[in-house]
A and B are shown apart, each in its own frame.
Chain A
Amino acid sequence: MIIIEPRASVSLFRAAMAPVWAVAAALVLCSVLIMWTGTSVPTAYVLLFKGAFGSSFAINETLTRSIPLIFTGLAVAVAFRAKFYNIGAEGQLYAGALAATFFGTGLITLPAVLMIPLLMLVGAIAGGLLLIIPVLLKTRLKVDEVVTTLLLNFVVLLVVSYLLEGPWKDPMSLGWPQAASIVDEGVLPALLAKGRLHFGLIIAVLMAVAMWAIMRFTVLGYEIRAVGFNAGAAEFSGIRVNRTVIITALISGGLAGMAGVSETAGLKGYLTLDLSPGFGYTGIAVAMLAQLSPLGVIPAAIFLSAVYVGADAMSRAVNIPSYIADVLVGVSVLAVLVSVMFSQFLVRWRS
């Protein structure tokens, strides 16, 4: 029989090592699947690593892919910190992309220094507004936000589909369901001469630092943490719990909306139905891997992005489907949950 007892104290080092152990465990577990395909495990992992970091092109691609994950990871981390379980970053991402498309394809044209912040702002507002319904349902009627935010994803995706097939369809797109291009002033500039890496990375990192500072130094951050840790004590001390949850939701939706702006105006230049291959959902994995720390979101997002980019390269080189990336990410997240438990509890076999 397994005996589980709480540890007397959890050292900072032990807590920080939890995700590292988790990733190691995930790599070991996934090697079983790789062996199944008949490929040697070291070869596969070397290919995966080279695919993610082996060349300047690979690094460029990994960082590019990490941009939306930093935004959605932050969105999930801040919401989960207040125990508001926002599973709808995917929908909020598309809401942000819709807003960027609405304002950025000719409705307004400003110099780039104003146009880019404007698009980011309207995208954030759109993402935040999308969360208004679930958060009010939660605070007023105690409706479970997991269900409402998750289902809204599909609603938003259908709206995007309708707009791209109908009113917003770009007549110049030769029949493809895509919207008109973002005006030049609104496009996020490239960071390097070669590759797709764009200015969105700078914005994402700045947002991570900003969220870290808000959570650590401000009254609002104090309130968000207090509400998440112990809503009863927060209420007793006079923190307005519902108001705090609503503000947190608006911030969370806003960050996810910025992911949509960054993808539309930075990477593709126009809105398509496959803008996000599930960045909103992967954001949950990023936040869990980062243990909800805003600064931890940056390495977590880069790691998960590397797994996806590397797995693509690996699958092109050897006979392993790139779906291994999804497995690796899934196992990593599960392993994080387990290793966090290990860091707080002592588990041993009964003699």
Chain B
Amino acid sequence: MPALEFRGVTKRFGSLTANDAVSLVIEPGEVLALLGENGAGKTTLMNILFGHYQADQGEILVDGKPLAPGSTQAAINAGVGMVHQHFTLAANLTVLENIMLGTEGLWSWRQNTKAARDKIAAMARDYGLQVDPDALVGDISVGERQRVEILKALYRDARILILDEPTAVLTPQEADSLFATLKSLTEKGLAVIFISHKLHEILAVSDRVAVLRRGAMVGSVVTKDADKAQLAEMMVGRTVTRPKPEPMQAGKAILEISRLTTSGDSAAALADVSLTVHAHEIIGIAGVSGNGQQALADVLCGLASGFSGTVQLHGAPLPAGRPRAIVNAGVGRIPEDRHARGVVGDMEIWENLISEDLRSDAVSRWGIVDRGRATARAEKQIAEFDVRCEGPDAETKLLSGGNMQKLILARALSREPSFILANQPVRGLDEGAIAYVQERLLEARARGAGILLISEDLDELMALSDRIAVLSHGRLSEALPSEARSIAEIGLMMAGQDGGEKAA
């Protein structure tokens, strides 16, 4: 009997069909990878399983029995456990307390910690999920937190474990240890659904791959018979090749950072960072997020002015803390979070395209926005950067992630900046959009721009960067040619095991 079965599950949001008659079977003891681009309907399907949404049609069977729709409790009781991409742990409680949270009766006199402790110890032993039950969750590493999330699900007797993009926050070594855990879970007869869009992980960890595209099930293949190209084509619906950089001679220095130190939260603040970016050069900054990327980006974007050390652009000091002056000095900025920093979703596309030069003569006179000129320019940029929209008057929040990113690229790159800060420029984008963004960055490099690329995706960094430096606990390693580094080496440096700098 299958552990879990989806039968013709359909979910519509207005005119959008998020899941179109999806049928899928998961057997006990197998790792099923659910592959699909962003917006393909993976998360919606899991939300239906978990009772957050209710399907318009179709049903879900767990161990052959229909699951009551729209009830999270029913899903948990049936043995479904979910590890979300963003952890749902309380940092100020211990591991033990987090695992027990919600399992004890509200009116019970005392917590039965002894039994819980024993059960957790047994699970930790059986599945190789070592973690100190009395440590505060706020003090443990991201990899350990994920183990706590898995333990939390197992503690509730989960037989079906769903992991949503579980490796997004892990170093390569932590990811390998997670894969080993998944193997031992399936040996014990658990069924695992592994949601991802990273092909090499899926090939490494899964037994079978099911592919969703635009809400519909494209098909499922046995992993050992599949290869990357085939899966990519199933996922995207056509062949997409990511661009490759041509070898290029680095030019004169464009951005020079010397002994940059910021104050604030110790792990996320920069400590004595030095770096030079040259023309015709992409420098990749690797690292697990929360290790100083934000502080570095904030300084270069003009959001932070409280730092020591120097940052020079073309030999002149960067106008710290003044975003417009920085833009005018020739910096193009692609922020990490499109929605929180990149655009004002409630405003129109043309309005977002003028936000960086609002008070310049190009788009306003005497404090009045020149809508005619602004719209004309917006139309040109929309065409040039292939932003798919109804027109410059469309509301920005209606754009897909890829088109929103193209809008930000249009705003940043049409001024032909000499230095570009690209902070996670392809995060959450589909394959087509990723290729587009990378092509544009490579074009800028060919034109002579220097680019600082901050990313958590090592494959992307290895493919695009001329040189790679690793940011860990606010310290930046030397930037070495990317051919000189291996993924394993960078992974160790990301974990802070470089030069004796251990996690604090």
Do A and B share a complex? yes
Bound: A9/B16 CA distance, A: 10
Determine if A236 and B335 form an interchain contact, defined as CB atoms under 8 angstroms apart.
Answer: yes
A3 contacts across to B, CB distance below 8 A: 54, 70
Known: A5-B13, A236-B335, A238-B327. A229 touches B303 (CB 8 A): no
Bound: A1/B51 CA distance, A: 12
A6 contacts across to B, CB distance below 8 A: 13
Contact check: which of A217, A218, A229, A233 meets B341 at CB < 8 Å? A233
B296 contacts across to A, CB distance below 8 A: none
The segment out of A29-37, A60-68, A220-228, A282-290 that lies at the interface is: A220-228
Closest to A8 in B: B14
Closest to A235 in B: B303
Bound: A238/B358 CA distance, A: 9
Determine if B340 and A230 form an interchain contact, defined as CB atoms under 8 angstroms apart.
Answer: yes
Q: B97 at interface (Cβ–Cβ under 8 A)?
A: no
Contact check: which of A222, A223, A226, A236 meets B301 at CB < 8 Å? A236
Contact check: which of B16, B53, B343, B355 meets A239 at CB < 8 Å? B355
Q: B329 at interface (Cβ–Cβ under 8 A)?
A: no
B251 CB → nearest A CB, Å? 28
B14 contacts across to A, CB distance below 8 A: 7-9, 346
The segment out of B34-42, B101-109, B133-141, B363-371 that lies at the interface is: B363-371
Determine if A236 and B13 form an interchain contact, defined as CB atoms under 8 angstroms apart.
Answer: no
Determine if A9 and B358 form an interchain contact, defined as CB atoms under 8 angstroms apart.
Answer: no
B359 CB → nearest A CB, Å? 6
Closest to B343 in A: A233
Contact digits for A267-302, partner B, Cβ 8 Å, 1 yes 0 no: 000000000000000000000000000000000000
Q: B345 at interface (Cβ–Cβ under 8 A)?
A: yes
Contact digits for B322-341, partner A, Cβ 8 Å, 1 yes 0 no: 11100100000101000011
Q: A172 at interface (Cβ–Cβ under 8 A)?
A: no
Contact-size category for A: 20 to 34
B345 contacts across to A, CB distance below 8 A: 229-230
Bound: A261/B359 CA distance, A: 35
Determine if A226 and B70 form an interchain contact, defined as CB atoms under 8 angstroms apart.
Answer: no
Contact digits for B365-401, partner A, Cβ 8 Å, 1 yes 0 no: 0011101000000000000000000000000001000
Determine if B351 and A1 form an interchain contact, defined as CB atoms under 8 angstroms apart.
Answer: no
B290 contacts across to A, CB distance below 8 A: none
A321 contacts across to B, CB distance below 8 A: none
Q: A237 at interface (Cβ–Cβ under 8 A)?
A: yes
B13 contacts across to A, CB distance below 8 A: 5-6, 8
Bound: A1/B323 CA distance, A: 48
A5 contacts across to B, CB distance below 8 A: 13, 53
Determine if A237 and B347 form an interchain contact, defined as CB atoms under 8 angstroms apart.
Answer: no
B73 CB → nearest A CB, Å? 12
Bound: A233/B327 CA distance, A: 15
Determine if A219 and B340 form an interchain contact, defined as CB atoms under 8 angstroms apart.
Answer: no
CB proximity to A under 8 Å, residues B93-141: none
B433 contacts across to A, CB distance below 8 A: none
B323 contacts across to A, CB distance below 8 A: 235-238
Q: B144 at interface (Cβ–Cβ under 8 A)?
A: no
Bound: A211/B364 CA distance, A: 19
Determine if A219 and B364 form an interchain contact, defined as CB atoms under 8 angstroms apart.
Answer: yes
Determine if A223 and B358 form an interchain contact, defined as CB atoms under 8 angstroms apart.
Answer: yes
Contact digits for B300-333, partner A, Cβ 8 Å, 1 yes 0 no: 0111000000000000000000111001000001
B347 contacts across to A, CB distance below 8 A: 225-226, 229
Determine if B70 and A350 form an interchain contact, defined as CB atoms under 8 angstroms apart.
Answer: yes
A195 contacts across to B, CB distance below 8 A: none
Determine if A238 and B322 form an interchain contact, defined as CB atoms under 8 angstroms apart.
Answer: yes
Known: A5-B13, A229-B344. A237 touches B356 (CB 8 A): yes
Bound: A238/B319 CA distance, A: 12
B304 CB → nearest A CB, Å? 11
Contact-size category for B: 35 or more
Closest to A226 in B: B344
Bound: A222/B368 CA distance, A: 10
A222 contacts across to B, CB distance below 8 A: 351, 358, 369
A225 contacts across to B, CB distance below 8 A: 344, 346-347
A196 CB → nearest B CB, Å? 38
Determine if B342 and A238 form an interchain contact, defined as CB atoms under 8 angstroms apart.
Answer: no
Contact check: which of B70, B346, B358 meets A237 at CB < 8 Å? B358
Determine if A218 and B327 form an interchain contact, defined as CB atoms under 8 angstroms apart.
Answer: no
A159 CB → nearest B CB, Å? 36
Determine if A234 and B344 form an interchain contact, defined as CB atoms under 8 angstroms apart.
Answer: yes
Determine if B369 and A217 form an interchain contact, defined as CB atoms under 8 angstroms apart.
Answer: yes
Closest to A234 in B: B344
B336 CB → nearest A CB, Å? 10
Bound: A222/B370 CA distance, A: 12
Contact check: which of A7, A217, A237 meets B355 at CB < 8 Å? A237
Determine if B302 and A233 form an interchain contact, defined as CB atoms under 8 angstroms apart.
Answer: no
B486 contacts across to A, CB distance below 8 A: none
Closest to B355 in A: A237
Q: A54 at interface (Cβ–Cβ under 8 A)?
A: no
Bound: A217/B363 CA distance, A: 12
Bound: A226/B343 CA distance, A: 9
Determine if A236 and B369 form an interchain contact, defined as CB atoms under 8 angstroms apart.
Answer: no
Interface-central residue, B53, B322, B323, B371, by most chain A CB under 10 Å: B323
B412 CB → nearest A CB, Å? 11
Q: B249 at interface (Cβ–Cβ under 8 A)?
A: no
A137 CB → nearest B CB, Å? 22
B132 CB → nearest A CB, Å? 37
Determine if B301 and A230 form an interchain contact, defined as CB atoms under 8 angstroms apart.
Answer: no
Contact check: which of A8, A9, A218, A239 meets B367 at CB < 8 Å? A218
Q: A330 at interface (Cβ–Cβ under 8 A)?
A: no
Bound: A216/B326 CA distance, A: 28
Closest to A227 in B: B344
Determine if A230 and B344 form an interchain contact, defined as CB atoms under 8 angstroms apart.
Answer: yes
Known: A1-B70, A226-B347. A239 touches B358 (CB 8 A): yes
Q: A171 at interface (Cβ–Cβ under 8 A)?
A: no
Closest to A5 in B: B13
Bound: A232/B351 CA distance, A: 16
Bound: A6/B345 CA distance, A: 15
Determine if A236 and B322 form an interchain contact, defined as CB atoms under 8 angstroms apart.
Answer: no
Closest to A346 in B: B14
A237 contacts across to B, CB distance below 8 A: 323, 355-356, 358
Determine if B369 and A238 form an interchain contact, defined as CB atoms under 8 angstroms apart.
Answer: no
A7 contacts across to B, CB distance below 8 A: 14
Bound: A225/B346 CA distance, A: 9
Determine if A218 and B346 form an interchain contact, defined as CB atoms under 8 angstroms apart.
Answer: no
Contact digits for B6-19, partner A, Cβ 8 Å, 1 yes 0 no: 00000001111000
A280 CB → nearest B CB, Å? 28
Bound: A9/B395 CA distance, A: 10
Contact check: which of B15, B341, B367, B371 meets A220 at CB < 8 Å? B367
Contact check: which of B15, B303, B351 meets A236 at CB < 8 Å? B303
A-B contact pairs, 29 of them (CB 8 A): A5-B13, A8-B15, A217-B371, A218-B368, A218-B369, A219-B364, A219-B368, A225-B346, A225-B347, A226-B355, A229-B344, A229-B345, A230-B343, A230-B344, A232-B340, A233-B355, A235-B303, A235-B323, A236-B301, A236-B303, A236-B333, A237-B356, A237-B358, A238-B302, A238-B355, A238-B358, A239-B358, A346-B14, A350-B54
Q: Nearest 10 CB-CB pairs, A to B?
A: A8-B14, A238-B324, A238-B323, A237-B355, A229-B346, A236-B341, A230-B344, A232-B340, A229-B344, A233-B344
Q: Contacts A3-B54, A234-B344 known; list 9 others, CB within 8 Å.
A: A9-B398, A217-B368, A222-B351, A222-B369, A226-B344, A226-B351, A233-B341, A238-B356, A346-B14
